[in-house]
Amino acid sequence: MATTENNFTGNGSRLSHAFTFPYLNTSDVLIGLKIGTGAEQILDTTKYEFPNATTLKVLSTTATDWQESTGAPKSAVKVRIHRKTADDNVASTFYPGSAIRSSDLNDNFIQNLYVTQEARNITTDSTTIAEEAKVLATTADTNATTAKNTADDADAIADTAKLATDRLVATTSNSGTSWTLAGNNTNASTDPKGVGYAVTTAESASSTANAASSAVGDKVNKDGSTTMTGALPMGTKKITGMGDPTAAQDAATKAYVDAHIIDEDNFATDSATKPPTQQSVKAYIGTTNYTKTEADAKYFSADAETIESTDTWSAGNTKIATTQAIDNRIISLTTEVGGFVPIANETSFPNTNPDVNDGAGTLVSIKSIASNFTSSGSGVATIANGNVANSATVTINGLDNSTTYLAGYGMIVETTSTLHTYAFHRLLPKASEVTTVATNNTNINTVASGIANINTVAGNNTNITSVAGNEANIDIVAGELTFAEDLGLVSESLTASSGNDINTVAGAITNINTVAGNNGNITTVAGVSANVTTVATNVANVNSVATNIANVNSFSDQYKVASSTPGSPTSGDLWYDSANSVLKYHNGSSFITIASGLTNIIEDQTPELYADLDCNDKNLTEVATISGNNLQIDFGAIA
């Protein structure tokens, strides 16, 4: 029998107690203290500690009936260190698709083993108590038989004495009336009513009664106390199955006592000199012992409440399973659930259905897709020569419609009841890419902290593409903020946002979830990856643009490049007419061409000089009339 407890006796000074049984959690190890035959007291877990894995130490406490002020159990106090494994929940819980660790399985099996061992020990203790009770009941029955025989003998003696008095004969003399015996034959056959016979019989009955009294006295106190001594100690044990006398039997017993033993008044009060009444004994037994029916209802019954390996499993709180039955149950459930089958790639599927029942439920893990494959418009992909034997076409249902699954990614699929046909479960990332993400967690954090800007950028994909195509001009604009401010297109200052540092991807899980929640936008950005790369190399300018996205959007609305007139123009809009290579502005009613400037003085119909005209040794030809009140001509020196 497995050890689930160790017992000690207190000495008033010992605090630490080493125990020898294994356990799962320290909360499963308890300490109980007991004085004599009293009830066991289980200490609160705050009153002891574990100096090491196999030692329990009682802490100092206020002195009690059980303990000294140091916490040490007092002398003669029984100390029981025992295990009571938690059975409200299993030690480990598994979920579909999660990893199954051997340590978790072992913990569950060990938990079941420990609970079973503890239950078996309780059953053994109950059996021992029942055997002791059986012996006590047998002894009590023997003593009762002896007492009854003694009472019968005493009754016979009384009858004989009565018969003897009938032989007395009255005679009269001068001195008065006297009584003489009719006979004194001690032979019962010749003189059954003889006094000699009565005396002999009485002496024999007295000897028998004395012997019975001594025998009973060795077994039960004769002073009426409720605690049995000698060879029949009761302690806290209970005698069951004896049954209670009926009302008629009680009345018959009382009548017999009234007529043959003692006066009824002597039964009125229990005392040291008077035996207890039958009713008081019955009342005591009724409040301190269990009947067989009560014991069966309260305690474990090994035959009726045990599930053995050959029994049908029954879930409930009224039965205890053997370890073999538990093993069989776990194997049965595991078989029903299915298994996990790893394969190298999409052309290494098993030749037969890997599910134990040739049905659904078993997961097949593709370590790495070897070649790209694309699903149909209904989410179905077929892989030629997809099994180990390279002879069968494998079908995978439930994929995204018209989607290409790239080589290097992993995939988990689930078996169906149709051979070589599987249901898509999930796509697994490339390990190398996960590592890349982990080593670039700072950039990921920057992107996550600027998710609002990313969403804004994703919502302006067309403008971003235009911006990416005009990278040189953007750089000029970013470097010439004063000119941009004069045009009213951007605000006075442009600043780039910054993100928090993250040591690991796991530490940035909130940000990653945020990115995952914007999968649609990320997909949009992924569709313009070349432009995103360009933006990434100019992140300072992108941040400037993102910070002033309202102005960027305003510029996109006010400036158009098209070969035809833009629709819904407003006053001040600019339009570069790509068909005619001219820049136009809208005056509120129509677009007006903006002149490129004077290339010849002749194009100025009303020229004016801002300062003196210096001919720089050149001649004025074809001069017409010169007029003016202040005309002065300086011909210089005449040679």
pLDDT in tens, 546-564: 777 777 777 777 888 889 9
**pLDDT band at 376; cut points 50, 70, 90:** very high
In one-letter notation, the amino acid at residue 10 is G
Total domains in the chain come to: 4
Residues 392 and 448 grouped into a single domain = no
pLDDT of residue 194 exceeding 70: no
In angstroms, the CA 205 to CA 233 distance is 30
Q: Kindly state whether residue 303 falls inside one of the protein's structural domains.
A: no
Tell me the mean pLDDT in the region 251-272. Answer: 52
Residue 502, exposed/middle/buried by CB under 10 A (0-12, 13-18, 19+)?
buried
Residues 423 and 469 grouped into a single domain = no
Q: Tell me which residue of 218, 68, 201 sits closest to 143, measured CA to CA.
A: 218
pLDDT of residue 503 exceeding 50: no
Residues 197 and 94 grouped into a single domain = no
Q: Which pLDDT belongs to residue 17?
A: 92
pLDDT of residue 476 exceeding 60: no
In degrees, rounded to 5, the angle at the alpha carbon of residue 156 between the alpha carbons of residues 155 and 161 is: 95
pLDDT of residue 37 exceeding 50: yes
Q: Are 401 and 427 in contact (CB under 8 A)?
A: no
Residues 461 and 424 grouped into a single domain = no
In one-letter notation, the amino acid at residue 392 is A
Max intra-chain CA distance, the chain: 224
Q: Kindly state whether residue 416 falls inside one of the protein's structural domains.
A: yes
Please report, in angstroms and rounded to a whole number, the separation of the first and last CA atoms in the chain: 144
pLDDT of residue 414 exceeding 90: yes
Q: Kindly state whether residue 615 falls inside one of the protein's structural domains.
A: no
| Secondary-structure percent of the chain, ordered helix, strand, coil, rounded to 5 | 40, 15, 45
Q: Kindly state whether residue 514 falls inside one of the protein's structural domains.
A: yes
Residues 198 and 283 grouped into a single domain = yes
Q: Which pLDDT belongs to residue 372?
A: 96
pLDDT of residue 67 exceeding 60: yes
pLDDT of residue 272 exceeding 70: no
How does pLDDT run across 479-495, given as a tens digit for each residue?
544 433 443 443 333 33
Tell me the mean pLDDT in the region 174-190. Answer: 53
Residues 405 and 460 grouped into a single domain = no
Residues 422 and 446 grouped into a single domain = no
The more confidently predicted of residues 440 and 282 is 440
The helix (run of H) or strand (run of E) holding residue 554 is: helix 549-558
Strand, coil or helix: what is 343?
strand
pLDDT of residue 576 exceeding 60: yes
Q: Which pLDDT belongs to residue 30?
A: 93
Q: Kindly state whether residue 336 falls inside one of the protein's structural domains.
A: no
User: Which of 69-78, 328-337, 434-443, 601-610 is predicted most confidently?
Assistant: 69-78
β-partners of residue 168 are 181
Residues 9 and 97 grouped into a single domain = yes
Q: How many CB atoms lie within 10 A of CB 594?
A: 13
Residues 119 and 150 grouped into a single domain = no
Phi, psi of 569 (to 5 degrees): -75, 160
Tell me the mean pLDDT in the region 22-48. Answer: 89
The more confidently predicted of residues 233 and 1 is 1
Last residue of a domain, one of 365, 400, 428: 428
How far are the Cα atoms of 93, 105, 589 from residue 324, in angstroms, in the given order?
A: 21, 16, 95
Q: Which pLDDT belongs to residue 369?
A: 95
Strand, coil or helix: what is 435?
helix
Last residue of a domain, one of 373, 397, 428: 428
How does pLDDT run across 113-137, given as a tens digit for each residue?
888 888 877 766 666 666 666 766 6
Q: How many CB atoms lie within 10 A of CB 267?
A: 19
**pLDDT band at 302; cut points 50, 70, 90:** low
pLDDT of residue 605 exceeding 80: no
**pLDDT band at 603; cut points 50, 70, 90:** low
In three-state form (DSSP H/G/I as H, E/B as E, the rest C), the secondary structure along 114-183 is: HHHHHHHHHHHHHHHHHHHHHHHHHHHHHHHHHHHHHHHHHHHHHHHHHHHHCCEEEEEECCEEEEEECC
Q: Kindly state whether residue 483 falls inside one of the protein's structural domains.
A: yes
Place of tokens 């040291």: 272
Q: Tell me which residue of 490, 502, 487 sits closest to 543, measured CA to CA.
A: 490
Q: How many CB atoms lie within 10 A of CB 240?
A: 19
**pLDDT band at 420; cut points 50, 70, 90:** very high
Strand, coil or helix: what is 591?
strand
Q: Which pLDDT belongs to residue 492?
A: 37
Percentage of residues in the chain having pLDDT higher than 90: 19
Q: Kindly state whether residue 603 falls inside one of the protein's structural domains.
A: no
Give the domain extent around 371.
342-428
Residues 477 and 586 grouped into a single domain = yes
Q: Are 222 and 145 in contact (CB under 8 A)?
A: no
In angstroms, the CA 223 to CA 299 distance is 34
Residues 97 and 153 grouped into a single domain = no
Q: How many CB atoms lie within 10 A of CB 292?
A: 12
Q: What is the Cβ-side half-sphere exposure of residue 265, based on CA atoms within 13 angstroms? A: 0
Q: What is the Cβ-side half-sphere exposure of residue 65, based on CA atoms within 13 angstroms? A: 8
Phi, psi of 48 (to 5 degrees): -150, 165
**What is the signed CA dihedral for 138, 142, 148, 154, rounded to 10 degrees?**
-160
In angstroms, the CA 60 to CA 41 distance is 17
Tell me the mean pLDDT in the region 527-546. Answer: 69
- When the pLDDT of each residue in the chain is averaged and rounded to a whole number, the result is 73
Residues 467 and 547 grouped into a single domain = yes
Q: What is the Cβ-side half-sphere exposure of residue 552, based on CA atoms within 13 angstroms? A: 25
Tell me the mean pLDDT in the region 337-345. Answer: 82
CA 322 to chain centre: 25
Place of tokens 């790209």: 372
Buried b (16+ CB within 10 A) or exposed e, 418-429: eebbbebbebbe
Q: Tell me which residue of 427, 426, 413, 398 sits closest to 360, measured CA to CA.
A: 413
Q: Tell me which residue of 425, 363, 412 sits closest to 94, measured CA to CA.
A: 363
In angstroms, the CA 395 to CA 419 distance is 9
Q: Kindly state whether residue 195 falls inside one of the protein's structural domains.
A: yes
